Copies of this chain bind each other. A is one copy, B any other.
Amino acid sequence: MLTKAEAGTDIASLMAEIGAKARAASGPLAVASAERKHAALVAMAEALIRRKDEILAANAIDLANAEEAGLTPAMLDRLTLDDARVRAMAGGVWAIAELKNPVGEVIAEWDRPNGLQIERVRTPIGVIGVIYESRPNVTADAGALCLKSGNAVILRGGSDSAQSTAVIHAALIEGLKAAGLPEDAIQIVPVTDRAAVGEMLKGLEGNIDVIIPRGGKSLVARVQSEARVPVFAHLEGLCHLYIDGSADLAMARRIAVNAKMRRTGICGAAETLLVDRAVASTHLVPILEDLCDAGCEIRGSDEVRALFAGAKPVSEEDWSTEYLDAIISVALVEGVGGAIGHINRYSSHHTEAIVAEDEKAVERFFNEIDSAILLHNASTQFADGGEFGMGAEIGIATGKMHARGPVGVEQLTSFKYRVRGNGQTRP
């Protein structure tokens, strides 16, 4: 990893060269066999395990630098690797190795009256750019997912995790070499200069097809506003949990505590609880007591505070706030219609859940809310590619173009049409 001064080079030309190398690698990658990609991924996982001590030593340097730089405890936690986390990283790569090869999969086929046989088959997208912050495991996850989907990838990690990332990257390169795949399939941007990100957002002269930002709101917002290429991203997960009048109370209590408190810092954590006014007298207080007992701060509307003295007042701003913390905003609503109105007004279109026994309420909730993931009688914390059975995810998209919800190997593909005839000309 070079700093700008060490590199002594022009960032734009350096990045252009990285882009050109990635594009060149994307050709052989697109036609690489399932077996070859599988072999590379297995070799990567093995190399990660073999280099575990080296990774942890590099991570210790990153952590020492980060403490000196005064990173917050939450940032330090994201940066920290230990034995179990390195094993989990390798396990993730193994799991991706075992996924079905998406490239070449026939996703639709039909015949035309004139005898033309049409197939729509999955193809790689080409070159993916991933811009992330301090989590070193993103290096392995993103590298493996892009390889499985036949894409070259340009990784731009945070400077905080530079040492850890370099060793993890070396392990991935070992895997590529072992399987005879081009090393440029997975490149790391070797400078910490922020101008490198600017070059990626401009698309490296057409050599980046899509950019995936992984990190905090300010990173994602910058990428979304400046990128001249498509972006798969979610700015935030302002997830709602609605308890319908028909809800089973015991289930509602379990789900509310899990949706809010299992992990408060993830995008699938619930931030707002909506309770049907019809069951305010029976359901509201037990649910809020459970949340309080679990250590959650309650911010409620006047109606809520009249029923539950432990609630602080909620402000208009709270309804649009992703706390990522042990805080929840609470309102009473007029049935499922009221919940839909509130959610469509404030939601970030990520994930919303309803607890209800009334199928009609569920259908309305499912039909009339335009969010990537809607859940019935289940916790919002299931909003995750692994939990969806996609093996792994590179992120969750809240945009509606191309990918939506968890972005796994299928979402990292495009498609093309193969049409077979026997001499047809168009009349």
Contact = CB atoms under 8 A, between A and B. Distances in A.
Could you say which of A126, A255, A425 has the most chain B C-beta atoms within 10 Å of its C-beta?
Answer: A425
A139 interface: no
Please tell me how many copies of the chain the complex holds.
2
A347 interface: no
B400 A401 contact: no
Contact of A421 (B372, B377, B419): B377
Interface in A382-422: 382, 387-389, 400-402, 404-405, 414-422
A43 interface: no
A375 interface: yes
B426 A387 contact: yes
A251 interface: yes
A427 to B, nearest CB: 8
B376 A419 contact: yes
Contacts of A360: none
A378 B418 CA distance: 11
A217 to B, nearest CB: 17
Interface stretch (A51-59, A78-86, A177-185, A362-370): A362-370
A101 to B, nearest CB: 13
A195 interface: no
B376 A112 contact: no
A118 interface: yes
Contacts of A254: 423, 425
B420 A126 contact: no
A370 B30 contact: yes
A134 interface: no
B420 A376 contact: yes
A26 to B, nearest CB: 9
A402 B402 contact: yes
A165 interface: no
Contacts of A31: 367-368
A113 to B, nearest CB: 8
11 contacts: A104-B367, A110-B389, A125-B400, A210-B401, A251-B423, A255-B425, A262-B425, A375-B420, A375-B421, A378-B425, A405-B417
Interface of A: 27, 30-31, 104, 110, 112, 116, 118, 123, 125-126, 209-210, 230, 248, 251, 254-255, 257-259, 262, 344, 362, 366-368, 370-379, 381-382, 387-389, 400-402, 404-405, 414-426
